[in-house]
Structure 1
């Protein structure tokens, strides 16, 4: 059996005046007596009792002297009451946003333990706002709709709320990863080492090496399975002034697609502005996305070797060619299939499909 912790949250917090009345009753003291002892007016004491006047820090000291109840106790009672009033006001405002919950992937966020409930309630709405790090729907739109619409192909037809949720999970996970400050020169010098990882078939071997190498040069790599409707394979953005997040959805688990996507994201870091958010889907690319495609393509198979692709006829030809380039043979098969030199049924024995754990 496992224990579940619940936060105590009373439905209604009474004003500190209720406690004051109890204290006065215990001491057989009237409000007029308290007014004399504190130097406050009877009217002001009565307003505190009714909850129409707050207890100032100065008043807490006077009440401490007159009642023997500590100033910190009165301060805490007043703070709890004012916070409760603020939450009630907030709840009235949030009611206007309840329909927004129907557009969000609540069930998926519950499944991934990002929120506790998928109900259409104020509590769920608060959880959602806490998850996204925003005050309300309007704040969410200002913060999350813009990046989910940026640097996408024209064919991009995803659900912006699913993309935003996926991006936010990546952001949260990236903050847990300790990285050295971003170092572009170190990234450039490490490209061949990163490229050589394509030869390794077991993710348990190359994933830790990939993450560690990237952390040393200021890049947090996060694997986060896609959220239904996102239709996204990767994204690159700066999460701190000296820290980059490369987030990969594992939507296509074929190894050649994975590695192309990874180096596509690396291309953004080397070619494009750190002010932009780059979202990579599988549609036709143009502009910056097309430039990142070209970078990944030429890094994996340099241009001086491209003419030899047409000479590859057998799996053994591919293995020999890949060995010469020091890359995985599946990278070569993927390129041949993408360029329609080979049908997708050819070279299947050389292709790998990754299965990633959540660790």
Structure 2
């Protein structure tokens, strides 16, 4: 294959693993015309040294030089400008690829196979650099360092507060990003704290409904008040039950449905609602099994959730409940699902071990509704 044909083929490929300067095309044209570099330098008004550097890609081919080359060798200036832009773009891509090679171990931190199973990422790419590129696009960040700043550090803070040692930052960051994607697609009105607070009785009444009925109603009520509620299957290793945060102008509540029972789901939901109503602008991540009982903000949210589900005027009667029949009657009286009462008793009443009354809890699968 002739040199000129080789160069044109390389430029047409669009995915080079090395960069070809526009000077290579210029060299080929000079050979075809029988013109020396010195003669070209004289005709375009450049020094022979500059022309040699141009041909070897050591200096940029500027728009001014492109105009001169159009007059001297007949090739349109727009072609020279495009070749220079392609060359510089390829150099940047190659430098980026070399940088990404230093972060191959990052792949081991992230649940790549799980993202493939969820059809978020395609099947295995041809190389690890391509996979890193895909993950950066998934997280919408320019580099691994930026990812650590935006995702890892808030997660690490949550883990430190929760004192949970066996959770993993990569899976948690992935779960957070999946929630971002879904929340961004949900239309929401402007945030209205007063209206949200007024809707609490309506939201509480939803606990009596099956998942396929309460999920759309819950999301509609909250979105009308500026809160996007999303349910994202927990990523293995994240050990997370919920999170509250701001994404743009939206308040977002993201729930993992980790335990798949109505008592856990509704307790987590109203816990997060308190963070929203309390105006907590920082990300609040609720790690499953947390032991941060000294965090006043979390304790306050726990108390709010418990009192919203079972108001204090009824709370004193919990100690009187000794049978499942009494739980059902009590739940009907106060308008709440009986499984929520069982969950409260299991947490607070030593006479109700965690093995008692679980059949009153409703199993949920909000991810399929």
The interval holding the TM-score normalised by the smaller chain is 0.7 to 0.9
Q: Does 1:146 align with 2:153?
A: yes
Following the alignment from structure 1 to structure 2, what is the Cα–Cα distance between the partners of residues 150 and 291? 19
In structure 2, what is the equivalent of residue 221 of structure 1? 229
Following the alignment from structure 1 to structure 2, what is the Cα–Cα distance between the partners of residues 209 and 68? 69
Cα shift at 1:351? 1.6
Following the alignment from structure 2 to structure 1, what is the Cα–Cα distance between the partners of residues 262 and 126? 38
Give 3-state SS (helix, strand or coil) of 2:253's partner.
Answer: strand
- CA distance 1:25–1:205, shift in 2 (3 Å): farther
Following the alignment from structure 1 to structure 2, what is the Cα–Cα distance between the partners of residues 260 and 76? 59
Q: Does 1:46 align with 2:52?
A: yes
Instruction: Please show how residues 1-359 of structure 1 align to structure 2 within 5 Å.
Output: 9-25=15-31, 29-32=35-38, 34-116=40-122, 117=124, 121-151=128-158, 152-155=161-164, 157-201=166-210, 203-240=211-248, 242-271=249-278, 273-286=280-293, 287=295, 288-340=297-349, 341-357=351-367
Cα shift at 1:148? 0.6
Per mean C-alpha deviation after superposition, the further-off stretch among 262-271 and 59-68 is: 59-68
Cα shift at 1:28? 5.5
Question: 2:175–2:232: 8 Å Cα contact kept in structure 1?
Answer: yes
Question: What root-mean-square deviation, in Å, do the aligned CA atoms of Structure 1 and Structure 2 show?
Answer: 2.6
Following the alignment from structure 2 to structure 1, what is the Cα–Cα distance between the partners of residues 108 and 253? 29
- CA distance 1:118–1:283, shift in 2 (3 Å): farther
Q: Which runs of 4+ in 1 moved over 6 A?
A: none
Question: 2:243–2:283: 8 Å Cα contact kept in structure 1?
Answer: no
Cα shift at 1:237? 1.2
Following the alignment from structure 2 to structure 1, what is the Cα–Cα distance between the partners of residues 287 and 359? 28
- Paired residue total: 351
Question: 2:190–2:226: 8 Å Cα contact kept in structure 1?
Answer: yes
TM-score between the two structures when normalised by the length of structure 2: 0.85
Deviations 1:266-316 (A, max 9, x none): 111123531343333223342122221111100000111112223334444
Give 3-state SS (helix, strand or coil) of 2:102's partner.
Answer: helix
Following the alignment from structure 1 to structure 2, what is the Cα–Cα distance between the partners of residues 119 and 272? 46
Question: 1:101–1:120: 8 Å Cα contact kept in structure 2?
Answer: no
Structure 2 residues not aligned, in runs of 5+: 1-12
